[in-house]
Amino acid sequence: MKKTRFGLGKKIFLGFSVLISFFALNAVLSIITLNQSEEGLSRSSDVVEPSMEAIDQLENTAIRSKMLITNWVYLQTNEEDKQDLRTLHNVEYPTLQARVKELSQQWEDSTEIAQMDTILQEFDALLATEKRIMSTLVTFEDYEDPVKKMVEGESVIEEVVLPSTASLLQRIDKLQQQKKTELASTKQEIIDSSSLLMTIVLSLGIGITVVGMLIAYITSRSITRPISYISSIVQQMGRGELPEESTKRFSNDEMGDMAEAVNKLSVGLRQTAQFAENIGQGNLKAEFTPLSENDVLGSALLEMRRNLQQVAEDEARRNWTTEGLARFGEILRQNTNNLAELADHIIGNLVKYTKANQGRIFILNEDNPDDPYLELQGCYAWDRKKHLNQRIDIGEGLAGQAWQENSTIYITDVPDNYVTIRSGLGDANPTCILIVPLRVNEEVFGVIEMASFQIFAPHEVEFVEKIGTSIASTISSVRINQRTSHLLEESQMLTEQMRAQEEEMRQNMEELQATQEEMQRAQRAAHDKEELINSTSLLLETDTRFRIQLTNGRAKEFLGHATDKVMSFSLHDLMTDGDQLADLKRKLEAGHYWQGVVSLNKSNGKSEEFLVIAGSIHTSEDQGVRYHFIINRIATVHTNA
C-alpha cells in the first residue's frame, strides 16, 4: 500500500503548524465519531426495527394463510374465513410484499436480501397452490366430489401447503434472528463509538509531542538520501550503463518520486533491451510489461511482437493448409477407381489431420434419378454397425439440410443424443459438428460430417471446404470414368452383337437373294405357262349359274362373238349336250374337277368339239365361288400332243 504522501513544502510547513493540525484532527475525528453514532441510531430506527416489524407481520400472514386455506378445505360453510383469505391474497399480502421489498433494498447484507427474495418466492408459490385449491373447491358440488375434495384439496393441504408453510416459517424465523443480531450489533457500535471518541482525544494529546520531533528528523533525511542516489544513477547512465534494480526505500515525497522514477527508468530500459534481444532471437513468447501506458518504446516493441506473431501464425496456417492439400491430393490421385476405398481413405486421414474425433462421408446415389439420396460410403471412429446402411434424403437432418442448401453447417451447440464420442474412458457429446457439402460448380456430390471435442478454427473449416471441392471433383471424375467404362463395355457388346447380326443378316440376304431368284424363275415359268395357255386355250370364268363373267381374247376369237355379247351368255347357250352339262354341274358343285370333250356353238350357227377342263375356285367373300374353264380345240390338242 502506498504511503500517505508528504511533499517537502508540507513537511516544512508541518514543523510550524503541527499543534494546530492535531487540534483540528481531534475536532474532525470527534465529529466523525458522533456522526457514525447518529447514523447507527438512524438506521436502527428507520430500517432495522421496521424490517423486524414487517418480518413479524409476514410470519403472521403465513400462519393466517395456512389456517384460512385449511378452513377453506375442511369448513365448507365458513364464508367469513373464505373472505378473509381472499382479502389476504388480493390486498394484505401484496401491500406487505411491496413494503418488505422496499425495506430489503436498504439492507446492507446481500445474503439477507437473497433470503428475503427466497421467502417471497416460496410465499408466492404457496399462495399459487392455495389459489388452485380455491378455484377447485367453490360450489357445493365441488365439495361433494371426492376427487376434488380429497385429492385436489385435503391431499394438497397435507402434502404441499403444511410442509411448505413450515419451511417458510423456518426461513422467516432464521431471518428474524439475523435482524435481532443486527439490531444488537448496531447498539454495540454506538457504545463503541463513544469509547473510541474518548480514546482519540487522549491519544492525540500524547501524539502531538512525538510527531513534532519525528517530522524534523524525517524531513532532513528524505532530502539528502534521494539526491545522493539520483546522482549515482545519472552518472552511470551517462556512461551508457544500465544499473541493476535497487532495493532502497525512499520517502514518499518529490525527492523520493525522483529517485523511484530514476530507478524504474534504469530497470525498464534493461527489461526493454532484454525483450528486444529475445525478439531478435525469435523468442516471441517472452514476457514484457511497458513502463506505463505512454511508454512509446515498449508499446512499439509489443506491437512489433504482435505483428511477428501474426505473421508466424499466418505462415503456420498456410503451411498447414498447403501440406494438407498436397497430402489429400496424393490420396485422391491414388484412389480413382474404387469409390468406397476412396471414401475410407479420405475420411480417416481428414479426421486425423484436423485432430477431430469422428467423421463420416456420404456420397450422392443417383441410380434412380427420381429418388436421389445420400449413401454412407465411409466413416472413422463412428458406430459403423449402426450407420452402415444409412440413407439420408434431401432435407433430412443436418446432413440433408447441408445438401439441400448447398452450404456448410457449423454448430458448437450440439443437441443432446445427436452423436456420442466413445472412448475407453466413457461417452461424451462433441463440442462442435462440421458438415461440408462436396460440391463442384454448385453441384453436390456428397457430404462430409465431422465431430470434435475441439473447436474448428476458421482456416480449418476453409481447409475442409477446399478438400470437399477436390473430393467432389474426384468423385465426378470417378463416376465419369465408371460411366465411360460401362459405355465402352456396352459399346463392345453392341459391336459384337452387330457383328453377329451383320453375319446373320448377310446369310439371310444370301438366302433371300436365292429365294428371290427362285421366285423370279417360278414367276417367269408361271408367266410363260400363262402366256402359253392364253395363246393356245380359251379361258372362261362363270358364276354358280354358269353365267360368263370373264373371258380371254382367244375365246372371243374362236367363238366368233363380240365381247359384250359373249359376256351375256351362259354355258347353257354354248353347250349342246344337256347330259354333259348336268354331269359337269354336279361335279363342280361337289368340288371336283371335270374334263371332257364338249361340242360348243359358235356365232355362225355351227358347232365344234373342244376339250374342256373345269374346276371351282374361291374368290373374295362378295363374289363367292367361281368356275374356271380351260377350253382347247381338238385339233389343237392333237397338234400339241
Q: What is the pLDDT of residues 393-413, one digit of tens each?
A: 888 878 788 888 888 888 887
Contact 234, 52 (CB under 8 A): no
DSSP 3-state of 601: strand
566, 571, 577, 582 alpha-carbon torsion, rounded to 10°: 180
- Confidence at residue 253, expressed as pLDDT on a 0 to 100 scale: 62
- The pLDDT, as a whole number, for residue 572 is 78
What percent of the chain clears pLDDT 90, i.e. is strictly above it?
Answer: 0
Mean pLDDT for 32-42 is: 70
Round to whole Å and give the CA distance between 620 and 626.
10
Confidence of residue 333 (pLDDT cuts 50, 70, 90): confident
Cell 354336279 found at = 586
Query: Which positions ≥6 away from 432 have C-beta within 8 Å?
Result: 410, 411, 412, 414, 451, 452, 454, 455, 456
Q: What is the pLDDT of residue 636?
A: 44
- Residue 637 has what pLDDT? 40
Q: Binning pLDDT at 50, 70 and 90, where does residue 618 land? A: low
The CA-atom distances, in angstroms, between 129 and each of 79, 117, 134, 168 are: 20, 18, 9, 14
- pLDDT tens per residue across span 519-575: 888 777 767 666 666 666 777 888 878 888 778 777 777 666 655 566 667 777 778
Write down the pLDDT at residue 638: 38
3-state secondary structure of 633: strand
Q: How many CB atoms lie within 10 A of CB 360?
A: 25
Q: Which residue has the cell 449413401?
A: 375
* Better-scored residue on pLDDT, 275 or 464: 464
Place of cell 465519531: 33
Q: pLDDT-derived band of residue 641, with 50, 70 and 90 as boundaries?
A: very low
| Amino acid, single-letter form, for residue 352 | K
Q: Residue 243's pLDDT is what?
A: 64
pLDDT of residue 526: 67
Greatest Cα pair distance, the chain, in angstroms, is: 197
Residue 567 confidence (pLDDT): 67
pLDDT: is 277 or 539 the higher one?
539
Among 159, 160, 136, which residue's Cα sits nearest to residue 148? 136
- b/e per residue, 64-102, with b = 16+ CB within 10 A? bbbebbbbbbeebeeeebbebbeebbeebbeebbebbee
Residue 239 Rama label (left phi>0; alpha psi -120 to 50; beta): alpha
Angle 167-171-173 from CA coordinates, rounded to 5°: 115
DSSP state letters, 227-273: HHHHHHHHHHHHTT--PPPP-----SSHHHHHHHHHHHHHHHHHHHH
Question: How many Å from the N-terminal Cα to the C-terminal Cα in the chain?
Answer: 161
Question: What contacts 24+ positions apart, CB below 8 Å, involve 255-264?
Answer: 255/8, 255/222, 255/223, 255/226, 255/227, 256/222, 256/226, 258/226, 258/230, 259/225, 259/226, 259/229, 259/230, 262/229, 262/230, 262/233, 262/234, 263/229, 263/233, 264/291
Residue 35 clears pLDDT 80, i.e. is over it: no
- What is the SS3 assignment for 59? helix
**201 vs 519 pLDDT, higher one:** 519
CA 46 to CA 103: how far, in whole Å? 9
pLDDT value of residue 509: 82
CB 471, CB 437: distance < 8 Å: no
pLDDT at 53 over 70: yes
Which among 268, 288, 292, 269 has a CA at the least distance from the CA of 279? 288
- The answer to whether the pTM exceeds 0.75 is no
Query: Backbone phi, then psi, for 95, in 5-degree steps?
Result: -65, -45
Query: What is the grid cell recorded at 487?
Result: 459405355
Q: What is the mean pLDDT of the chain?
A: 76
- C-alpha 312/C-alpha 320 separation (Å) is 12
Q: What is the mean pLDDT of residues 480-493?
A: 78
Phi (first) and psi of residue 423, to 5 degrees? -150, 180
pLDDT band at 237 (very low <50, low <70, confident <90, very high): low
Q: Which residues make Cβ contacts (< 8 Å) with residue 361, sequence separation at least 6?
A: 343, 346, 347, 376, 377, 378, 379, 438, 446, 447, 448, 449, 471
Dig out the grid coordinates for 422 from the structure: 466413445
Radius of gyration, alpha carbons of the chain: 62
Q: Is the pLDDT of residue 640 over 50?
A: no
Residue carrying the nine cell digits 552511470: 236
Sequential DSSP letters for 336-363: SS-HHHHHHHHHHHHHHHTT-SEEEEEE
Nearest to 375 by CA among 361, 357, 355, 356: 361
Question: By C-alpha distance, which of 588, 587, 586, 558 is closest to 574?
Answer: 558
Tens of pLDDT, residues 160-183: 888 888 888 888 888 888 878 877
| Confidence band, pLDDT 50/70/90 cuts, at residue 267 | low
Least confident stretch, 12-21, 201-210, 607-616: 12-21
- Convert the pLDDT of each residue in 108-147 to its tens digit: 888 888 888 888 888 888 888 888 888 888 888 888 888 8
| SS3 label, residue 318 | helix
Which three-class secondary structure state does DSSP give residue 626?
strand
Residue type, 93: Y
SS3 track for 93-123: HHHHHHHHHHHHCCCCCHHHHHHHHHHHHHH
Top-confidence residue, 250 or 428: 428
